[in-house]
Amino acid sequence: MPAVDRLPPRSNACRLRRALRAAALGTALAGLATTATAATPLWNAATLATAGDGTLQLRFNVDLLAQLGLAVQSADGRALNGDTLSSDLVARTGVRYTVGGASVAAWHDGEFVAARGFRIVDAQGAPRIDLASLRLRPRAGSTLIDFVGADGRVALTADAVMAALPDGGATLRIDAMDVRLPDGTAIADAQALLRATPPAVPGASSCAVPNWPGSGGGAYVADLALDGISVQAMRCGEPGCEGAACTCDGPGGIDSAVVFAPGAELSNADDDNGGLPCTAADPCSADLPWNAKFSPDRPPYGNDQHPLLVWNLYRLDADGRIAQIGRSGVKHAFVALNIDCACADSQVLGRGCADVYSTNNNDNNNVFGPRSEVVPATVQWGRCGAIDDDEVVAPNPDLGGCDGVKDATGNTRWSHRLAVRESQIDAAAHPGSRWLFEAWYLVRDDVNIDNSMGFIEMVPGWNGAWTAQPAAGTAFRRGAALAAWADPAVDPLARVATVDDALGRLRLATRVRALGGGRWRYDYALMNFTFARSQTAGAEPNLRVVSNAGIAGFAIPLAADVAATSPEFDDGNLDIGDDWTVSRDAADARWLSGSRTLDWGTLARYSFVADAAPVDGTARALLAASADAPSLAFASLVPGPRDPDRVFGDGYEPRIVTQHYTDTFFN
């Protein structure tokens, strides 16, 4: 694997921030089931804000709890109505905190008392965690929140607290936080809405007059960076199941589906051009719009512009194959915390500011949608006709759609999630395989999409429920996961070529291996980052995405006298009905799409064995499913002229073999 990318200087703060958070969470988790006490830092009272009474809502991952042999009961011993517990909160003596940017920088003191509590019980109904008398105690000097029982001991801890300060700081709104068991498993998402008193001496906001991307004649540019991700298995069962109805039995069993979701840390670049004037020739970092979908239209695009997050799961097999075995829908970002900076507008990610999204927030029905609603190259979302637009038949304004009002999505806990079958992550079934989890933020006008994506190597495990631990000796790495499969710097028989077209970006990675006996295996992995032949209607803010199909074919030059066998097509899913067909003529081996094109954010592999050694040549991505379709060219390795003295060892008349699940033959 190539060396980890060197992070730019601004990321030192990100590293430090992650280290401090990790240390704080480690201390918190180590202290669970101990008395919750902490030293109170000394701060200037004039800089402290105070939170008062409000409400709490806990949304439990009942599917995951059931797989752990646990369930949630209200304090009176009755089961929850669904997965949610709501309660009033009373701030005992007020909860004080320092403000940083548009969020809580650190808690100071105080605690909240909940009117309703809960217990986590085992399969026999015996209490395992008793929070019937529930108090929420913010951890002084950090952003963690301890869940404390009647005995004063910490039972659960919440991290990734997404606290926003609307209404000029008169409200403290916690949009999400991961509530974790002592072993670190996130079992619930929590929100709170609290009255607040802002600091007596509020700080100035650095983004009061934003410098948007492209402003100043191009003097400001968007450059978001993904700084780290984590991953957790969220549920397992047959898609559509809920709670105890979700069953799976691990490797070699009934082959249920497993949902994975990430937590993410990100930051906006902090380039001020060394204090020199910002110019188009030497631009500075822009402030980034971060508006919740269906919120009022705002600059700079006159819409509800916001970043989008997608994630993918890859398996790299010991025999050299790569497969994108899972992919999510689109998660819509909705609030910027502006950590470690002075931007006080939660609908803007200011220059030099950081943000965090929790695992459970990235598993929330309200924030998901399909990739088909997006023009990826321009990061434009089609609000009209979206799943949370109440239009029934598009276009039909009489049905109330396209009105800029958010409606119910109709999503379930399985909708638009990354889900894979247990057999796809079974280490025993795939000896020597590695699994890479990739996440990517799409930001409009981003000048460098490679640093807004990244991946980690994870190890799927089973201990009664699926886990996803980081692989030993590995670390988060920026860029596409494809870079871990093909690296020309260390493999002379590897090539990587990127095409930036007006319709988007594609990347082709090629690997060739000598099999002996004059035979060579050719593997081509085509990653469609943002390429789409989009058709739209209307204009922002009421844009409609009619279609956004991607690549429809792939071709490799193959001379008529070259013997080829064992061609493969692998799009990572287990549905052979949408596999591409493969054929050859006197000039090419060619794969053509049927019901499913290679759309943005997805990868497919095309492979075969030939009796010709590799030479530099050109591979083509076809824009339609026909031999004479327009195409995009990639520098690659392809089979060269055949050695006339070389035949396959068995001397049979060679024919191409298509292999996905079963072999079929054709001339």
User: pLDDT by residue (tens digit) across 51-74?
Assistant: 999 999 999 999 999 999 999 999
Give the pair of three-digit tokens for residue 664: 């079929």
Amino acid at 298: R
Q: Is there a domain that residue 408 lies in?
A: yes
Q: Are residues 57 and 152 in the same domain?
A: yes
pLDDT at 45: 66
Place of tokens 């809405």: 193
Q: How confident is the model at residue 44 (pLDDT cuts 50, 70, 90)?
A: low
440 with 351, same domain: the answer is: yes
pLDDT one-digit tens code per residue, 566-624? 999 999 988 888 899 999 999 999 999 988 999 999 999 999 999 999 999 999 999 99
Q: Is the pLDDT of residue 390 over 80?
A: no
> For residue 16, what is the enclosing H or E element?
helix 11-30
pLDDT of residue 652: 28
Q: Which residues contact 462 (CB under 8 A, 6 or more apart)?
A: 250, 251
Distance of CA 495 to the CA centre of its chain: 27
Query: Is 121 in the same domain as 54?
Result: yes
For the stretch 345-360, pLDDT in tens is: 999 999 999 999 999 9
- Place 644 in a pLDDT band, splitting at 50, 70 and 90: low
pLDDT value for 215: 97
Please give the model's pTM, rounded to 2 decimal places: 0.89
Burial class for 418, CB neighbours closer than 10 Å (0-12, 13-18, 19+)? buried
Quickly tell me which residue has 């994108």 as its tokens. Answer: 324
**Token couple for 591:** 């794969």
Confidence band, pLDDT 50/70/90 cuts, at residue 291:
very high
**Residues 169, 246 within the same domain:** no
Query: Are residues 253 and 182 part of one domain?
Result: no
Element (H, E) at 92: strand 84-100
CA 570 → CA 256, 365, 604, 606, distances in Å? 21, 29, 6, 7
Query: With bands split at pLDDT 50, 70 and 90, how would you rate the model's confidence at 402?
Result: confident
Q: What is the 3-state secondary structure (H, E, C) of 227-267?
A: EEEEEEEEEEECCCCCHHHCCCCCCCCCCCEEEEEEEEEEE
**pLDDT at 5 exceeding the cut of 60:** no
Looking at the structure, do residues 141 and 245 belong to the same domain, yes or no? no
Residues 140 and 180 in one domain: yes
Residues 17 and 130 in one domain: yes
Given 473, 494, 522, the domain boundary residue is 473
The answer to whether 364 touches 297, Cβ cutoff 8 Å, is no
487 φ, ψ to 5°? -135, 100
Does the residue 485 lie in any domain? no
* pLDDT for residue 32: 41
Query: pLDDT band at residue 146, thresholds of 50, 70 and 90?
Result: very high
Question: Residues 219-231: what's their mean pLDDT?
Answer: 98
Query: If you search the block for the tokens 């075969």, which residue do you land on?
Result: 608
Same domain, 354 and 381: yes
Helix (H, G, I), strand (E, B) or coil at 524: strand
Q: What percent of the chain has pLDDT over 70?
A: 88
Are 573 and 648 in the same domain?
A: yes
Q: How far apart are the first and last CA of the chain?
A: 39
Q: Does a structural domain hold residue 437? A: yes
Which one of 473, 500, 532 terminates a domain? 473
How many domains, in total, are found in the chain?
A: 3
Residue 39 has pLDDT above 60, yes or no: no
Give how far Cα 486 sits from Cα of 276, 494, 530, Å. 40, 6, 20
Q: How would you class 171 by CB atoms within 10 Å of its CB: exposed for 0-12, middle for 13-18, buried for 19 or more?
A: middle
Closest CA to 507 of 490, 525, 533: 525
Q: Structural domain of residue 465, as residue ranges?
A: 215-473
